[in-house]
Chain A
């Protein structure tokens, strides 16, 4: 299955600033997904990123707050903009490899906003 490198692993940011999270996959994949996981909670899908097209956002998530880039089939970034303490969470990228391998997740980025 695919191997995902996600950076940074953690960061502490001032409110009002932005954080960009990078996700690098060791193979070409069509769809990449960005999730948010509050500590001790389940995963909530933020958006689906396809190469060459605009990301598709889930209800409650907007492009101005969570802009996503997908310049090629192995890389994506998620930016969390205008940070507030409520954005403190773990952000994970994921790729789908069908039923055989399922979804593979990065190790996540733990964001703390102060």
Chain B
């Protein structure tokens, strides 16, 4: 009930391409869905987040798409750059972000020139 499933485990994308990472959740009480970016030796940093009252949120090259009926959400990175190479975690929690986070398993993204 508390799981957040994330795929793929690793992803290689050419520079300038679109990176897509997918997540699915089971707990219908979740109402806050953030994505975190983690570089080696650093803690995760909030990248972008969405609430279930909208189907899409865009911030620069990063877009979250949200499908409430399917209980799925995805991160799209447009015009992917080598500096985007990092591990990405989707997450979810309830009470609009004020409860403990449940993390996905992570996706290691590598952008090649």
Contact = CB atoms under 8 A, between A and B. Distances in A.
Interface residues of B, number: 22
Contact of B103 (A42, A100, A102, A106): A42
B104 A42 contact: yes
A1 B47 CA distance: 13
8 contacts: A33-B100, A40-B108, A41-B106, A42-B104, A42-B106, A43-B44, A98-B97, A105-B44
Interface string A65-86: 0000000000000000000000
B45 A105 contact: yes
Which bucket holds chain A's interface residue count? 20 to 34
Interface string B22-50: 00000000001010100001111110010
Interface of B is mostly: loop
A104 interface: yes
Contacts of A101: 46
A31 to B, nearest CB: 8
Interface in A12-42: 33, 40-42
A48 to B, nearest CB: 6
Closest 8 CB pairs of A and B: A105-B43, A99-B97, A102-B46, A99-B96, A43-B103, A42-B103, A42-B105, A102-B34
A108 B42 contact: yes
Given A42-B89, A42-B105, A42-B106, A96 B98 contact: yes
Given A43-B44, A106-B43, 11 more contacts: A43-B103, A94-B43, A98-B96, A99-B51, A99-B96, A102-B49, A103-B36, A105-B43, A107-B43, A108-B41, A108-B42
B101 interface: yes
B98 to A, nearest CB: 6
A45 interface: yes
A103 B44 CA distance: 9
Interface string A3-17: 010100000000000
